[in-house]
Amino acid sequence: MYLALPVSDVVLFPGMFRVAHVKAGVGVRAVDKVAENPEPLVCLHQLRPGEEDPKRAEYPDLGVICQVLRVIDMPDGSLRVLLEGLERAALTGKPTVKAGTLRVQAKPLNVRPKDPVRFEAVARELDLRYRDFMIGTGVSQSDHAVMGSHSEEPERLADQVLANLDLTYEERLHGLLIRDPLARLEHALEQVAVALGQQAVAREVNDRMQATMDRSQREYQLKEQLKAIRSELGEAVGSEAEADAFEARIHESRMPDEVREESLKEVGRLRRIHSDSAEYTVLRSWLETVCDIPWGKYSDDTTDLPAAKAVLDGDHHGLDEVKERVLEYLAVRELNPDSKGPVLCFVGPPGVGKTSLGRSIATALGRSFGRFALGGVKDETEIRGHRRTYIGAMAGRLVRTLIRTGTANPVIVLDELDKVGNDFRGDPASALLEVLDPEQNHAFLDHYVDLPVDLSKVLFIGTANLQDPIPAALRDRLEIIEIPGYTEEEKVEIADRFLLPNLRKSHGLTEKQIKIDRDTLTQVVRDYTREAGVRHLERKLGALHRKVARKVVEKEAKSVKVTPKKLGELLGPPVYHPELAERVDQPGIAIGLAWTAVGGEILFIEATKMPGKRSMKLTGSLGDVMKESAEAAMSWLRTNAAAYGIEPEAFEHEFHLHVPAGAIPKDGPSAGVVMVAALASIVTGRRFRTRWAMTGEITLRGRVLPIGGVKEKALAARRAGVTDIVLPVFNRRDLEDIAPELREGLTFHYVETVDEVLSLALEPMQ
CA 663/CA 534 separation, integer angstroms: 24
DSSP 8-state code for residue 485: P
Which stretches within 273-317 are classed as H helix?
278-292, 305-315
Q: Which of 670, 681, 711, 759 is catalytic?
A: 670
Q: How far is 407 from 297, CA to CA, in rounded Å?
A: 5
- Over its C-alpha atoms, the chain yields an Rg (Å, rounded) of 49
- CA 336 to CA 323: how far, in whole Å? 20
**Residue 616 · residue 676 · CB < 8 Å:** no
Long-range CB contacts (< 8 A, 24+ apart) of 88-93? 88/14, 88/62, 88/63, 88/64, 88/176, 88/179, 89/2, 89/42, 89/62, 89/63, 89/64, 89/65, 90/61, 90/62, 91/42, 91/59, 91/61, 91/62, 91/63
User: CB–CB of 459/365 below 8 Å?
Assistant: yes
Q: Are 714 and 600 in contact (CB under 8 A)?
A: yes
Q: Is 114 a catalytic residue?
A: no
- The residue from 540, 666, 711, 713 that is catalytic is 713
Concerning whether 227 is annotated as a catalytic residue, the answer is no
Structural contact between residues 239 and 280, judged by C-beta atoms closer than 8 angstroms: yes
Q: What is the DSSP track for 230-269?
A: HHHTT---THHHHHHHHHHHHHHS---HHHHHHHHHHHHH
**Which of 55, 44, 123 minimizes the C-alpha distance to 85?**
44
Instruction: Walk across the sheet containing 478-482 and list its strands.
Output: 369-373, 411-415, 459-464, 343-347, 478-482
For 657, the 3-state DSSP assignment is: strand
Contact (Cβ atoms closer than 8 angstroms) between residue 371 and residue 379: no
In contact, 758 and 680? CB cutoff 8 Å: yes
C-alpha span between 602 and 712 (Å, rounded): 10
Distance CA 363, CA 367 (A): 6
The CA angle 557-561-563, to the nearest 5 degrees, is 135
* CA angle in degrees (0–180, nearest 5) for 178-182-184: 35
Angle among Cα 219, 225, 231 to the nearest 5 degrees reads 135
Beta strands (DSSP E) in 447-538 are: 452-453, 459-464, 478-482, 514-516
Q: CA nearest 699: which of 639, 747, 750, 759? A: 639
Question: Considering only CA atoms, which of 698, 725, 727, 702 is closest in space to residue 625?
Answer: 698
Sheet of 589-596, strand order: 615-619, 654-658, 599-610, 589-596, 692-694, 724-728, 747-751
The set of residues, in sequence order, having a beta carbon less than 8 Å from that of 502 and lying 6+ positions away, is: none
Q: Are strands 692-694 and 724-728 parallel, antiparallel or unpaired?
A: parallel
Contacts of 700 (CB under 8 A, 6+ apart): 632, 635, 636, 639
Residues 637, 680: contact at Cβ < 8 Å?
yes
Residues 624 and 667 sit within 8 Å (Cβ to Cβ): yes
Taking the C-alpha atoms of residue 700 and residue 318, their distance in angstroms, rounded to an integer, is 41
The residues that are catalytic are 670, 713
